[in-house]
Amino acid sequence: MTSALLDRLKEEKIVAILRGVPKERGDAVAGALSRGGIVFTEVTMNTEGALDMIYSWREKFGERMRIGAGTVLDLGAAKEAVRAGAEYLISPHLDEKVVDYALAQGIGVFPGAMTPTEIIAAWKAGATAVKLFPMATLGVGYLREVRASLSHIPMLATGGVRLDNIREFLSAGATAVGLGGYLVNPALVREGRYETIVQNAADLVRAVKSYNEVTA
């Protein structure tokens, strides 16, 4: 399953990150992302009601979306997320117990790393892909330099990605990108402006489709 998941991620190239979304608005936000064409959606485990949202999203959107858990900090959180139905686990760091557990469950795992040493360690531990973080601070130039030596390792670039620079990140070698507040702005959620979230998602999906067509 992990290879199929990675193949799909390479095609879709976007992971929506939901952090701090109120549980009562979770289904509406996930639905808006789905209507906008987003396939990979994660809710961070430090979001209140995260497990309930994962379970609900798998039930309501599982046929066309791939639902994961983010900010998975330890084995206990990994087990809770999998029980709720998470199809992949994303962490800001490398915890080999989390990686081993995900592999044993046959699901994807994306540990976080920053330096080349950390990236290689995560890959050797069995990562489906490595989350390069924090990209907002490191910048696309750092991604390009790291990829020059580590092009065999699929990387998920998270932080600082927007519509106006997503193609730059992909051109620099990101297998996919993770977007949080830019895609699901907290103000839009508070105000119930779900159609704007749909439009944000659709614009990003269109940019990826255009990139895929040019690079095919």
**CB neighbours of residue 30 within 10 Å:** 25
124 as an active site residue: the answer is no
Greatest Cα pair distance, the chain, in angstroms, is 45
CA distances from 55 to 46, 105, 207 (A): 16, 17, 30
The catalytic residue among 12, 13, 42, 87 is 42
Bridging pattern class, strands 176-179 and 112-113: unpaired
The catalytic residue among 12, 13, 87, 131 is 131
How far is 43 from 101, CA to CA, in rounded Å?
Answer: 19
CA proximity to 153, closest of 194, 188, 125: 125
Q: Which residues are identified as catalytic?
A: 42, 131
